[in-house]
Structure 1
Amino acid sequence: MPAVNGSLTTHVLDTSIGRPGKGILVELREAGIPTLLASGRTNADGRTVAPLLHGAPLRIGQYELLFHVGAYFAGQATERPAFLDIVPVHFGISEPETHYHVPLLVSPGAYSTYRGS
């Protein structure tokens, strides 16, 4: 049978040390709507313990992941405040029965993202 459930996962990699970003709060919202859809903290592998969305077809629309990296970098041995605080990643879901993976590669001064697998 074809898949009828979509899912959304994420992970964080601290590229300044080449390791997963542990303990980072990740929040999911529909773009432009303040209601929290899901949240979680990254584990030792830099991943949330469970998918942020799963168990049913995803809703087509625009979404926003908020990665709270400022607190993470504040906990590192740095001499100055982190340049980044909350990193927003805006993305769209157009295939409700597909797996979406949205990773964040981050350092104290830069970040990037992509649609993963």
Structure 2
Amino acid sequence: MEELTKSEEKVMQVLWKLQSAFVKDIIEQLDDDPKPPYNTISSTVRLLEKKGYVSYKAYGKTYEYYPAISKKQYTKTTFSKMFAGYFDNSPASLLSFMVKEEKLTEEDINELKALIKKKSS
């Protein structure tokens, strides 16, 4: 699976949220100010289609786009690459980073403990 650029990821986030959309719908959902030009988003969506992330239904010259892969699939692949590249596939390294850098709340820590306990039983 080919990695996405930041702009491609933004478009995918919108498509995962809406489940299907026309280019104008995607533009409306983007937080960018000012909004990107129609042609820019249209080109981004076409690139995503070439990469296999997006499919479409044609209505004459108008296209309705929808995700070809789930957010869960993308998250799993992306996280696996990050986990291997930055944390040497070590859960302890990842957890250590989270504890030191992410300012976990007591509630977050309790949730992690509960997940670990559940996994080990």
TM-score by length of 1: 0.23
Which structure's residues are more often helix, by fraction? 2
TM-score by length of 2: 0.23
Which structure's residues are more often strand, by fraction? 1
Decide which structure has the larger Cα Rg and report it.
2
Q: Which has the bigger relative contact order, CA under 8 A and spacing at least 6? A: 1
